[in-house]
Amino acid sequence: MHAPVELAKSYRLLNHGPTVLVSAAHGGQRNIMAAAWSMPLDFNPPKVAVVLDKSTVTRRLVEGSGTFALNVPTRAQAEATLAVGGISASELPPGQDKFAAFGLSAFEAARIDAPLLEGCAAWLECRLLPEPHLQNRYDLFLGEVIAAWADPRLFADGHWLDAAAGSTVHYIAGGRFFATGEAFDAKAMPRRS
């Protein structure tokens, strides 16, 4: 059984990977924004891609600093994710950032200046891999992961653990999220002769 999907909404069929919060800092300013379009690109060295619209303050900070962080929020942070994704830092009073506006706690990254949001499932500190054509034409930013951290209750020994401790969220539009569910193992089906 299948039903047609409006092409303008077809990206949602694939866009159930974890939503991330992109944080950056430059010139005494810091910001955080939600990004539903991010993905891993490579293993060694690890690389990621994230879409940062031309109109965002975060993009300006990433371009200025050459670094950014991907914060992977938990279900408990879904409201904060919507909040920072629903307003531009340019709409805030002068001198205020989204961390202060929404009472979000942050801590210092190890290798970059971007703040890391407390309470997330994971954090990736990234060095921008400049690709002006991709950035200008498609708003696509590539980064090399130079440090990574995870809540050991959620991710250990290279694997996601039981989501009961705090699942990641997957934004699907209109204020609606999915949360990661119960982990299970499977074996490949046998080949037919």
Average pLDDT over residues 13-27: 82
Element (H, E) at 135: helix 132-138
**Whole domain around residue 167: which residue ranges?**
16-179
106 close to 113: Cβ distance less than 8 angstroms: no
Q: Is residue 71 part of a domain?
A: yes
Confidence at residue 10, expressed as pLDDT on a 0 to 100 scale: 55
Q: Is residue 185 part of a domain?
A: no
Number of domains the chain is built from? 1
Output the six-digit token pair for 44: 């060694």
Q: Is residue 56 part of a domain?
A: yes
Average pLDDT over residues 169-186: 83
CA distance 7 to 89: 31
Average pLDDT over residues 99-113: 97
Q: Is residue 10 part of a domain?
A: no
CA 42, 57, 13, 159 dihedral sign is positive
Q: Is residue 11 part of a domain?
A: no
CA distance 139 to 161: 33
Confidence at residue 124, expressed as pLDDT on a 0 to 100 scale: 93
Q: Is residue 85 part of a domain?
A: yes
Q: What is the pLDDT of residues 32-73, one digit of tens each?
A: 999 988 998 988 899 999 999 999 999 999 999 999 999 999
pTM of the predicted protein model: 0.90
Q: Which amino acid is at 136?
A: N
Q: Is residue 126 part of a domain?
A: yes
Q: Is residue 8 part of a domain?
A: no
CA 141, 143, 149, 150 dihedral sign is positive
CATH label of the domain that carries residue 51: 2.30.110.10
CA distance 172 to 53: 18
Confidence at residue 114, expressed as pLDDT on a 0 to 100 scale: 97
Confidence at residue 2, expressed as pLDDT on a 0 to 100 scale: 58
Confidence at residue 22, expressed as pLDDT on a 0 to 100 scale: 98
